Amino acid sequence: MSTTLFTNAKMIDGRLCDIAVAAGRITAIEPAGVSSPQAERIDIAGQLLVPGFVEGHIHLDTSFYGDTWVPHRPCTNGFDVHERVAFQADNMAKAAPMEERARKQLDLCIANGTLQMRSHVMVDGSVGLTSLETILAVRETYRELIDIQIVAFPQSGILKSPGTPDLLDAAIGLGADVVGGLDPASFDRSIDGHLDVVFGVAEKRGVSIDIHLHDAGTLGAFTIEEICDRTVALGMQGRVAVSHAYGLGDLGTDAARKIAGKIARSGVSIMTNAPGNHSFPPVALLRQEGVTVFSGSDNIRDSWWPFGDGDLLRRAEIISYRSGFYTDMDLASAFDVVTSAGAMALGLEGYGIEIGAKADFVTLDAEHVPLAVVSVPKARRVFKAGKLISQPS
């Protein structure tokens, strides 16, 4: 079994180390210079070496990244999920083939050091399982480069889109890993009806759950409590996520702290990408109460907004900026959101820079993590299973 030695790697804690890798896993971490000289060597030259970023929420099927520019259409009377879904259907009909767009988006993410991903893929009465089939095929061709979890995402609702309950079940049978949901109250007008289907499929198929929840204020908070109760009732702690959870950002501190305790005890994770001028979950408060907070790009150049660069380090900067994170400890916590906390939320095995973990890592030209978060250095070498898969051109 051949060993590769990654020499002079700056660890997150500041130590300079040599990291031995064999069969795609880290087998030893020693102070720099003391390791066996026989192995093949790759010099990290004192750069920061961090685990691959965890893209916890993206949409590989609906991005126009790399396609022609699609000007953003505003909603006619404030943000309206139904209207945005209709805009998306119009835009998708004119877009380049999905496989091509998904590949471009994946290439972008990998070059930025993302090696683990959770992508939502539309499954509903309009597209059936066709988008899922395409993204499953793309995933297969990228399996040596990035690990991808796929969420069967009912973009058009579950109760409002005939046939979707059966399609979600069939999607898991076809290869999706996680069952999704969308605004049980405001979209489907029935929290219980919607969650009965989502948790029903999860229980039957033994899969995790990740629900888009845009609902604001107490409606959003109430829905989260319902999700927490069902999670505990089914013993699904650690396997349920709520994406966006904007409502948590609308609550006063006392109310937010109270529900944060419940979320933590239920083992429900919260995903935020700190978007635009929207209220978003209080990241520091949630983490203080023990909630796993993770992040993702969400939409990249799609029908929802024109932003996104597939860079989770940039996302950590955005989260820090919007959360008022200035101290080293706070900046490091934002970095944790896009790395280790993401791995926990996604239930990843073998994540991190430690003996026995997968040799999936990225080099950053920064002295330490807080500086990386505020400076977002772009020249990165990306290693998957110890093999170089991307480097600065």
- Nearer to Zn ion by Cβ, of 44 and 345: the residue is 345
In the complex, least distance from residue 298 CB atom to Zn ion, rounded to whole angstroms: 5
In the complex, least distance from residue 12 CB atom to Zn ion, rounded to whole angstroms: 29
CA-nearest of 215, 223, 231 to 265 is 231
- Nearer to Zn ion by Cβ, of 297 and 320: the residue is 297
Reading the block at residue 313, the tokens are 């380090």
The b/e string for 223-246 (b: 16+ C-beta within 10 A; e otherwise) is bbebbbebbbeeebebbbbbbbbb
In the complex, least distance from residue 85 CB atom to Zn ion, rounded to whole angstroms: 12
- Nearer to Zn ion by Cβ, of 178 and 364: the residue is 178
The residue count for the chain: 393
Reading the block at residue 205, the tokens are 């198929």
- Nearer to Zn ion by Cβ, of 118 and 205: the residue is 118
Alpha carbons 157 and 194: distance in angstroms, whole number: 8
Alpha carbons 313 and 291: distance in angstroms, whole number: 21
What is each CA distance from 131 to 55, 64, 120, 139, 177, in whole angstroms? 20, 15, 10, 12, 15
In the complex, least distance from residue 5 CB atom to Zn ion, rounded to whole angstroms: 40
CA-nearest of 227, 218, 228, 223 to 249 is 218
- Nearer to Zn ion by Cβ, of 298 and 336: the residue is 298
- Nearer to Zn ion by Cβ, of 298 and 360: the residue is 298
Helix 191-205 crosses helix 164-174 at what angle (to 10 degrees)?
Answer: 30
CA-nearest of 361, 374, 264, 278 to 330 is 374
- Nearer to Zn ion by Cβ, of 82 and 387: the residue is 82
β-bridge partners, 148:
117
Alpha carbons 240 and 117: distance in angstroms, whole number: 16
**How many residues make contact with Zn ion (CB under 5 A)?**
1
Residue with nearest beta carbon to Zn ion: 298
Contact criterion met (CB below 8 Å) for 83 and 75 = yes
β-bridge partners, 30:
18
- Nearer to Zn ion by Cβ, of 298 and 330: the residue is 298
**3-class DSSP state of 214:** coil
In the complex, least distance from residue 304 CB atom to Zn ion, rounded to whole angstroms: 8
Reading the block at residue 27, the tokens are 């087998």
Instruction: Give the number of other CB atoms < 10 A from CB of residue 90.
Output: 11
- Nearer to Zn ion by Cβ, of 183 and 298: the residue is 298
CA-nearest of 142, 153, 145 to 178 is 153
Alpha carbons 101 and 97: distance in angstroms, whole number: 7
Alpha carbons 62 and 155: distance in angstroms, whole number: 11
Residue span 292-321 as binding mask against Zn ion, x where in contact by CB under 5 A, dash where not:
------x-----------------------
Q: At 238, which amino acid appears?
A: G
- Nearer to Zn ion by Cβ, of 183 and 289: the residue is 183
Alpha carbons 316 and 337: distance in angstroms, whole number: 7
Instruction: Restricting to residues 242-301, name those near Zn ion by CB under 5 A.
Output: 298
For binding to Zn ion (CB under 5 A), which residues are involved?
A: 298
